[in-house]
Structure 1
């Protein structure tokens, strides 16, 4: 595996609303490999929200965690893609993924189990050879 599965979590407020950002501890190994020029962002707009935290409700949060684990299991084994960040804010979970081949990523994404129906996600992709999408968020949370 290109990077280990150790994650760092940063929590705080953004415009008075709680935010949680998790990222791979050793993300530089994937960036420095130079094999991941495509940035894919997946957004899950929660249908439930905990009013005290702004995060998805507990049962939906459990579904999101299962999706996160299935996403890594589907995308990372062949080292075509690496999930590097997850952001939770205002009822939206967003994953930032870098990949080499978008067609392969789509095929791998199609293998994520959907026993309970399709996931409420939106997927966008852009070329980002400098990892600007990731580094803008990462640099904003550094002390």
Structure 2
């Protein structure tokens, strides 16, 4: 189970598709602040049944302060990572739905149509960059249960 499905918290920078609406919220986890960003609704024109794979990308970082947030340098690299992965959306291979930052971890949740294709495009997008300290996990979630559970509990 990913960080996002076990806690409510999210932060994100990057450039979501213009017509999509995003919600940003704050909360806490064991006294540490969380920053949360999630899509207010399913991306326009997306049939969730065509994107049954949940991919979580987690970045563990050394908190820059007692609040557990990343340093400016780490945050800038996180922004770069998200911008590099924009091609997943522009090619309609995967869609970012939730991002959370809390207590030394940032995690992004994506729903993809094909795991192999997603990893191929992800690796291509990141080629030529210094390695990012990320861990990727994937699971089936054809009903987008993790996203809906998160979105509905945040409202």
The alpha carbon displacement at 1:24 in A equals 1.9
Deviations 1:37-63 (A, max 9, x none): 1100000111x3122421111111111
Distance between the aligned counterparts of 1:2 and 1:11, measured in 2? 22
Give the superposed CA RMSD: 2.2
TM-score, with normalisation over the residues of structure 2? 0.80
Distance between the aligned counterparts of 2:140 and 2:58, measured in 1? 18
Deviations 1:46-102 (A, max 9, x none): 1x3122421111111111011111112x21122121111101111111000001111
Gaps of 5+ in 1: none
TM-score, with normalisation over the residues of structure 1? 0.86
Distance between the aligned counterparts of 2:113 and 2:129, measured in 1? 30
State the aligned residue count. Answer: 140
What residue in structure 2 maps to residue 100 of structure 1? 113
Gaps of 5+ in 2: 1-15
| Runs of 4+ in structure 1 over 6 Å off | none
Distance between the aligned counterparts of 1:9 and 1:2, measured in 2? 16
